[in-house]
Amino acid sequence: MVWVTSAVVLIGCGVTWFAYRSLTNGLTTSDALDAVKKNAPKHLDSSVNLLLIGLDSRKDMDGNDLPKEFVQDQLHAGSSEIGYYNTNTLILMHIPADGGKVSAFSIPRDDYVETLNGDGTSQGEHKIKEAYANAYTGASERLSKQGIKGPDLEGKSREAGREATLATVQQFTGVPIDHFAEVNLLGFYDIAKVLQPITVCLKHPVKDRYSGADFPAGVQKVDAKQALAFVRQRHGLDNGDLDRTRRQQAFISSITHQLKDEGLFGDLGKLQGLFSVVKKDLVLDSTWHVLDFAQQAPNLTGGNVEFHTLPITGFATRKGESVNLVNAEKIKTIVQQTFGPSPTASATPGDGDGDSKAGAKAAPATVDVRNGNGTGGLADTVLKALAALGYTAGQTGNAPGQAHTTVAYGAGAQQAAQQIASRLKSGTATAGSAIPAGHVRVTLGRDYTPPDNKVPSPAPSNSASAADSEDSGPAVKAGGVPCVN
């Protein structure tokens, strides 16, 4: 569910809001990113990856149940016992360093993956939405035994949930997360209430007793209660949760278009009213220097955003529940190549070698690439990319799994090795006695992200040519009011 819409509103209003710092007083912040940074993949440029988290909780920030009548009548969301602490919306956005098109991937909530705790330890295989809830439960039980209770217990337990979600998404997608925003069900409703009426568009009429959705086909305006039904419906849709994901994407597009079209970005009075509501429901990471970020991301409000849904390979039953099966290696390839650095981005010099700049002419060497990353076909892709830069292509192969990418060289290939290490941001290249003279050996680790030259991307996640994937549907492009199922 797109409770994260309020986070997108926050970003969209960034420049104006953060010009008035007083409006930030009272926001809830989180240090969860600190726990997962040490295991995060490396960046190759100054782009920003932002994770929007929609928490399907019917509770307030202190863990108290929302009023029963409100949950049933206004949210049409059953009882406060439903939802628990699952993350029913996960949207990973990439803001390029050069200000180009923003790419976003929705991660279907039922994708069956290895979920992690914040320290990188495995929770086992679960639906990706359950990483938060699993960690929350474990932390709550442990802290309760230590005598912690009330809002303090709730806050610390939720922090464990955030850490687990961040660690799991980073591992699943193979890219680092720089910032995140979390909002719950109530937060979405409050934002929608401030912004109503909101324009949406449906290709077909729908009626669903579970979500309360009852809409004709075509362009129409909805209030806050209807907005919740619009983004929550999955029953009665041809593609179930995948269609609901596209509803979320379309709704975000409609909201940002409306905000810009109505001039809200420049109206301090309206912004104050909006964020007096958001403060009680929104959580931002504490490292987010949002004023700088807002200046970097004008395309978020300019309509230059394209939403995709990560593909699945089919459906199955695991542990008695219906899940989405996924090709984890393919997911990493799709996300890493879509989020790869812009062609103009230049890497940082390696160890001070005057000729080791990423943009320098390739020094003579034959490059061999070994794959310790686990992503099928990645060694071939990397070797082609390095050959395109002027290095001689050697051989590819597999290597035992390793956390970090390494570069080693034989006699006479030190300069080329330092250049390549600089491009891959893998640290200082090292001499290897077993490596033939004139050769550089790259061993890709789990922290690998694509080099700064753009190589041909795999079939996009929404393409019917993705032979082993369920069609995730057409991309949703922001900048207006997209019409969806």
Task: Using the structure block, give the residue that is written with the tokens 């390793």.
Answer: 402
Q: What pLDDT does 132 receive? A: 97
- Span 435-460, pLDDT tens digits: 999 999 999 988 887 644 333 333 33
Contact status, residue 405 vs residue 445, Cβ threshold 8 Å: yes
pLDDT band at 163 (very low <50, low <70, confident <90, very high): very high
CATH topology of domain 366-444: Alpha-Beta Plaits (3.30.70)
Cα–Cα distance, 263 to 254 (Å, whole number):
14
Closest C-alpha among 386, 403, 483 to residue 443 = 403
How confident is the model over 400-410, as a mean pLDDT?
Answer: 91
Give the pairing type, strands 430-431 and 218-222: unpaired
Angstrom distances, CA of residue 347 to CA of 63, 436, 448:
45, 27, 14
The most confident of the ranges 301-310, 415-424, 463-472 is 415-424
Q: What is the CATH number assigned to the segment(s) 5-341+462-484?
A: 3.40.630.190
pLDDT at 60 over 60: yes
Predicted confidence at residue 361, as pLDDT, reads: 76
Q: Which tens digits make up the pLDDT trace of 93-103? A: 998 876 677 88
Q: Does the structure show a pLDDT above 70 at 159?
A: yes
pLDDT of residue 84: 78
Alpha helices (H) in 43-149, listed in sequence order: 68-69, 130-145
Portions of the chain given CATH number 3.40.630.190: 5-341+462-484
Q: Please list the residue range(s) of the chain that carry CATH number 3.30.70.2390.
A: 366-444
Q: How confident is the model at residue 120 (pLDDT cuts 50, 70, 90)?
A: very high
Read off the pTM.
0.68
- Cβ-in-10-Å burial (0-12, 13-18, 19+) of 113 comes to buried
- DSSP for 29-53, written as a single string: EE-HHHHHGGGSPPPSSS-EEEEEE
Q: What is the pLDDT of residues 226-267, one digit of tens each?
A: 888 898 888 888 777 888 888 888 888 887 777 767 665 555
- For residues 364 and 248, what is the distance between their CA atoms, to the nearest angstrom? 50
Predicted confidence (pLDDT) at residue 161 exceeds the cutoff of 90: yes
